[in-house]
Structure 1
Amino acid sequence: MTSTQPRPTTTYQPPVKQDAELDYEQVLDDLSSASVHRNFDPYIDIAWDAPEMAIVPDDPRWILSYTVDPIGRHPWYQSLPESEQIRLGMWRQANVAKVGLQFESILIRGLLQYSDRLPNGDKRFRYTTHEAKEECNHTLMFQELVNRIGMKTPGMRRWLRLLSPIVPLFSTITPTVFYFGVLAGEEPIDHIQKDFLRGKDGLHPAMSAVMELHVAEEARHISFAHNHLRATIPNKGRLTKFVLSIAMPIVMRVLCNAIVIPPAEFRKEFNVPREVMKDIFWESEQSKVFLAGVFGDVRMLAEQCGLMNPASRRVWRALGIDGRNSRFRSEPAYTAS
């Protein structure tokens, strides 16, 4: 017999979000808001045509820092005449800026492809689009600096320049590995620029202005990558996390070399002996300490994501990028106990 009793009323209850997911969404809101209210334009916020910004020949402020730059501290560089130290320093800084804009170009393409696949209402769409816009401004800023220095520099090493059209595809094929690559490019540049700014006496004002603007906005970009990986990796399967734990240090080391080590044109332009290049990158004790120090924040992130295990620790060590983890993001090396 059919019942005439009314059915109980049911209402849709959305899934309850976990604390980590709620925290991640709050981070996305905060970062998007900061992108709206604290953003920069390189043609408004940098006084390119001010007299003190002029780039002139034989300016000793282009001599590479002994304490920060791996090339600047090497005895071979120290033995060069001052005029050659200046010329090499200008080439080096212009090439670092060129590398920066090439890396940002790859990142912009990857971010736009990544955001294109996101569903309606996903808060990552807004933030990643904000970030892409800011990175476009960074490419303008870096190219302006390169143009004003006036050195013919190629930027990244040849193999990465050739692969650059392919790299953004990883943002939709394997987004986690793509964000490993993002950090592999952003962390070394951010680390070096912060070291320069901590002791910026003698730094050319044009370089200082570019670094200050870049570091200020890059803090948001690195924060997003860290929070994104912390929110997404723990939910992956055990095998996937193991593979990612091995991939992470490999991506860090390969891309760090591609971005930090000058291209072959540098060695030819300044007749740098091969053994000197090997010593600087990364055979001397000082350079080994520098290389390991660059990834303190990333090692901390790997621990937080559950990607540090006995096997992955061996990979970090074999690649020369193991060491003490940062206690907090952007911890200066000199605070180590």
Structure 2
Amino acid sequence: MSRTAAIPDQDVVARRLLGGSVRRSYEPAVAIDWDAPLDPDKYFLPPEVISLYGTALWEEMTEEQRIELSRQELANVLSVGIWFENLLNRALLRQLLREDPRSSHAHYTLTEMGDECRHMVMFGRVIDRVGARHYRLRAVDRMVWDVLPFFLRGSLLWVAALVGEEIFDALQRRMMTDPRLQPIVAQLMRIHVTEEARHIKFAREGVVRRMQDAGRLERVLTGNLVGIGGPLFRTAFTNPAMYRRAGLDPKRARREARANPHFHEASVFGFAPLAEFLLGNRLLGPIGRLMWRRAGFLP
């Protein structure tokens, strides 16, 4: 949405999104075929988005090793998704303390939180169903995650929500119809893309509305602090533990992944819609832009 476009009242937007939630929401417990067998020849993520695709190490791997790496990268991505949705829900709960509980805006916020709770359950069940283990936050990262909701307010809350949602959304839209995917993964992605579209709409309009009255300091702070997402995602998406679990040398694998032009291309693709939105709303400052570029998410 352009920063010059007319912004509907937040309750008007929320009522529309509430209607969409009634019409198109899913209960993963019944919407996913949990008993369907896994196909030993299918990937858990398409090869082209796997961090080592096209590298010298990738060429040395057998097809079985490549599929196993895709399993571990899926489990890692879903674990990261759980961390972000947990963070977002706690930040939204704090925001609700300042909302009118009668408003449609508050009601949609609660509806979104319910969606995110189901998504976390779905991610956890899929990690288990594909025969993987979840990935944990390091102790120091857990401490940061514990305090972050206290700082996510105003435009920073909505921008943080978009950082956690839009990159995954863009990549899932690219992947979910790939015939090489395990059916259970494709089902997960279709559900997540459908429901995240409403969450992204909610957060984008929250950003644009906030920017109508934001002062220069808030705009500068938000536009540069958003850059923290770049190195955070770079670290998360090249987690050495997933290479170790796939039977690879984690140091070599991480080094080759971070230098991999194919991985860089996938990262740029995932960030592109959000980058366009942030630039259109003057919310990607020079420091923020530099951090995303150094992390490999900008060309």
TM-score (norm 2): 0.86
Task: Indicate if the aligned counterparts of 1:66 and 1:73 stay in contact, CA closer than 8 A.
Answer: no
Structure 1 position 123 matched with structure 2 position 101? no
The equivalent of 2:174 in structure 1 is 195
Amino acid at match of 2:57: W
**Higher mean C-alpha displacement, 284-293 vs 25-34:** 284-293
TM-score by length of 1: 0.77
The match for 1:151 is: 132
Alignment partners' CA distance in 1, 2:285 and 2:143: 34
1:234-313 matches, cutoff 5 A: 234-248=212-226, 250-262=227-239, 264-269=240-245, 270-281=247-258, 283-308=259-284
Shift, 1:301, TM fit: 1.6
Deviations along 1:280-305, one digit per CA (max 9) or x if unpaired, are 13x23333333222221222222332
Equivalence for 1:208:
186
The answer as to whether partners of 1:188 and 1:295 remain within 8 angstroms in 2 is: yes
Structure 2 equivalent of residue 86 of structure 1: 67
Q: RMSD of the alignment, in Å?
A: 2.7
Does 1 or 2 have the higher relative contact order (CA < 8 Å, sep 6+)? 2
What pairs up with 1:23-34 in 2 under 5 angstroms? Answer: 23-34=9-20
Name the amino acid aligned to 1:67: E
Aligned to 1:39: 25
- Are the equivalent residues in 2 in contact too, given 1:96–1:155 (CA < 8 A)? no
Letter in 1 for 2:147: I
Larger Cα-atom Rg: 1
8 Å contact kept, 1:108–1:132: yes
Contact 1:31–1:220 (CA under 8 A) maintained in structure 2: yes
- Structure 1: stretches of 5+ with no match in the other structure: 1-18, 324-337
How far apart are the structure 1 equivalents of 2:147 and 2:68?
Answer: 34
Q: 1:311 to 1:90 in 2, by over 3 A?
A: closer
Q: State the Cα deviation string for residues 222-257 of structure 1 (Å, max 9, x = none).
A: 111111101102311123212222222x13313322
Change over 3 Å in CA distance of 1:79–1:311 after alignment to 2: closer
- Aligned position for 2:47: 66
CA distance in 2, matches of 1:88, 1:142: 18
Q: Is the 8 A contact 1:230 1:304 kept in 2?
A: no
The answer to whether the Cα contact below 8 Å between 1:131 and 1:221 also exists between their aligned partners in 2 is yes
Asked if residue 217 in structure 1 is aligned to residue 195 in structure 2, the reply is yes
Deviation at 1:204, TM superposition (A): 0.6
Residues 3-41 of structure 1 show CA distances to partners (whole Å, capped at 9, x for unaligned) of xxxxxxxxxxxxxxxx84535443222112111221110
Shift of 1:310: 6.3
Find the counterpart in structure 2 of residue 7 from structure 1.
none
State the secondary structure of the residue aligned to 1:150.
coil
CA offsets 1:148-176 (integer angstroms, 9 cap, x no match): 122223255664344322222233xx332
- TM-superposed CA distance for 1:91, in Å, is 2.2
User: What's the offset of the Cα at 1:130?
Assistant: 0.4
